[in-house]
Amino acid sequence: MNTTEQHPADTPRPAPGGRPNTPAALDIRNLRMRLPHTARPVLDGVDLTVGAGETVALVGESGSGKTLTSRTVLRLLPAGTTTEGTVHVAGDDVLTMNARQLRHLRTRTAAMIFQDPRAAINPLRRIGDFLTESVRLNKIMTPAAAQARAGELLEAVGLTTEVPRRYPGQLSGGMLQRVMIAAALMGDPTLLLADEPTTALDVTTQAEVVALLGDLRARFGTGLLFVTHDLGLAAAISDRVYVMYAGRIAETGPAASVFARPRHPYTKALLDSTPGLDAPPGRLVAIDGQPPDLRREPTGCPFAPRCAHATELCTTETPRSMPARGEPAHTAACHHSDRLEGTPGDA
């Protein structure tokens, strides 16, 4: 690992939009998606950007649409899906790409790291084959160049040069996830999509993988979309956060301000229901009820049935995203944002 790196708290983080004159690594505008046999869209007007070299967390519970959003970026969609809106990766619209452009996107421009490395690696092939397969098959590099690049990346993720000769079964989960990260960086992507990349790992291993992703972002300038259900993790690692509920962005803003002063009751409820080490002891504040299912079309705010602040307005009119006073980058889709006290969540 590169020990000359400053640690992330000292590194200035790029503002939303990232470096000037570079197209955003990812720019999703008004994405709506419907699956067959559902009453409501699974994604309903999602707007999300990841600037060049920026780390963005997408937080939500099961069924919120966070994984679907990240998979849409590689156009890995379930059969029968209809989409509206645009998804630009490094300036190109993913939803209108032809097969050749799509292959280029998936091998070069963007890469994905999945939750379970064991499910994403062929157990019968050596690590070295796995790392170089994509760039060799797509004739991006010569076999020799691919091997050299693989060696360089394995070193960058803290693995030794004998790893390419090993089989996946001979490595631990943390080591395999490092291999996955190295594989994702082989094509030198502009955008890295990480879908719960540390959920299957032990907490101390999680810290090492997160530190590694931070170093690599600084070193290679890769934009990172980090999909997670863990609010604490999102707060710890990201520049900006999006909180999703029922296929919509409930709240977004700089990580520090979203967690210190949540403006959507759902974000606040999530923070309150997490059993943290600093939270007040005793009973947790659980969120009653269930997220809305896909069989019914909700009217108004999808969180209203579970929300303590809900009024009649919430059940009739869908709230639009509104910025906080004095903080244009921090927006929430709630009619009653101003009624939420500025109680710190988990600071």
Partner 1 sequence: MPEPLLEVRGLCRTFGDVRAVDDVTFTLPDGGSLGIVGESGSGKTTTARIVVGLDRADAGHVRVRGQDRTTQPRGRAERLARARQIQMVFQDPYLSLDPRTSVEAVLRETLELHRPGTDPAPRIRELLDQVGLGTRAADALPRELSGGQRQRVAIARALAVEPAVLVLDEAVAALDVSVQAQILNLLADIRDATGVGYLFITHDLGVVRCVTDDVIVMRRGRIVESGRTADVLALPNHAYTRLLMDSVPRPGWDPHAIGAARRALRNDDTPA
Stretch that binds partner 1, among 37-45, 71-79, 176-184, 282-290 (CB under 8 A): 282-290
Q: Considering the complex, what minimum distance in angstroms separates the CB of residue 4 from partner 1?
A: 12
Contact call for residues 110 and 193 (beta carbons, < 8 A): yes
Residue 85 interacting with partner 1 (CB under 8 A): no
Alpha carbon distance, N-terminus to C-terminus of the chain: 29
Residue 155 interacting with partner 1 (CB under 8 A): no
Phi and psi, residue 322, nearest 5°:
-125, 140
Of 206, 252, 267, 337, the residue at the interface with partner 1 (CB under 8 A) is 206
Residue 231 interacting with partner 1 (CB under 8 A): yes
Q: Pick the closer one to partner 1 by CB: 8 or 189.
A: 8
Of 99, 144, 204, 325, the residue at the interface with partner 1 (CB under 8 A) is 204
What letter represents residue 339's amino acid?
A: R
Q: Considering the complex, what minimum distance in angstroms separates the CB of residue 204 from partner 1?
A: 5
Of 84, 152, 202, 297, the residue at the interface with partner 1 (CB under 8 A) is 202
Residue with tokens 């998936």: 106
What letter represents residue 262's amino acid?
A: P
What letter represents residue 203's amino acid?
A: V
Q: Pick the closer one to partner 1 by CB: 153 or 287.
A: 287
Residue 12 interacting with partner 1 (CB under 8 A): no
Closest CA to 194 of 157, 222, 153, 235: 222
Q: Pick the closer one to partner 1 by CB: 89 or 234.
A: 234
Q: Mind giving me the DSSP string for 4-45?
A: TSPPTTTSPPPPTT-STTS--SEEEEEEEEE-TT-SS-SEEE
Residue 229 interacting with partner 1 (CB under 8 A): yes
* Rounded-to-integer distance, Cα 305 and Cα 292, Å: 9
Q: Considering the complex, what minimum distance in angstroms separates the CB of residue 306 from partner 1?
A: 8
Residue with tokens 């890769």: 222
What letter represents residue 107's amino acid?
A: T
Which SS3 state, helix, strand or coil, does residue 228 take?
strand
What letter represents residue 229's amino acid?
A: H
Stretch that binds partner 1, among 45-53, 84-92, 126-134, 232-240 (CB under 8 A): 232-240
Contact call for residues 62 and 292 (beta carbons, < 8 A): no
Residue 236 interacting with partner 1 (CB under 8 A): yes
* Rounded-to-integer distance, Cα 72 and Cα 9, Å: 31
Q: Pick the closer one to partner 1 by CB: 79 or 286.
A: 286
Residue 230 interacting with partner 1 (CB under 8 A): yes
Q: Pick the closer one to partner 1 by CB: 288 or 312.
A: 288
Q: Pick the closer one to partner 1 by CB: 284 or 313.
A: 284
Q: Pick the closer one to partner 1 by CB: 5 or 47.
A: 5
CB neighbours of residue 21 within 10 Å? 6
* Rounded-to-integer distance, Cα 86 and Cα 182, Å: 29
Q: Considering the complex, what minimum distance in angstroms separates the CB of residue 139 from partner 1?
A: 37
R_g (Cα) of the chain, nearest Å: 21
Residue 21 interacting with partner 1 (CB under 8 A): no
Residues 6+ positions from 250 with CB-CB distance below 8 Å? 243, 244, 264, 266, 267, 303, 332, 333, 334
Of 11, 273, 311, 343, the residue at the interface with partner 1 (CB under 8 A) is 273
Residue 246 interacting with partner 1 (CB under 8 A): no
Residue with tokens 């309150």: 272
Looking only at residues 328 through 347 of this chain, which bind partner 1 when binding is defined by CB under 8 A? Answer: 346-347
Residue 62 interacting with partner 1 (CB under 8 A): yes
User: In the complex, which residues of this chain contact partner 1 (CB under 8 A)?
Assistant: 1, 5, 7-9, 61-62, 173, 202-208, 210-211, 214, 229-233, 235-237, 255-256, 259-260, 269-270, 273-279, 281, 283-288, 290, 346-347
